[in-house]
Amino acid sequence: MTLKTTLKLTAAAASLAVLAGCASTSALEEVRMTAESAQADAAEARSMASQALNTANQAQRDAQAALQLSEQNREEMNRMFQRSMQK
């Protein structure tokens, strides 16, 4: 082989190595972007779940208050009925 052929083959090999490195770097960048997107989606889902839990807890408190008020009203009606029956 001549020096010129050797230089051409070396340049071609170096070009392929550089291209392979760029492909790896771009693939890693794509994986990093996908992971960041997944983390952002998970954070958003966590936030939405937290809001849903807060809403459910408030609904439960409201339902408990309504039940308590209903029981108080029933007791009052029973007392009123008892009073009316005593007359």
For residue range 19-63, list pLDDT tens digits in order.
Answer: 566 657 777 788 889 999 999 999 999 999 999 999 999 999 999
Single-letter amino acid, residue 54: N
The answer to whether residue 14 scores a pLDDT higher than 80 is: no
CA distance 85 to 2: 123
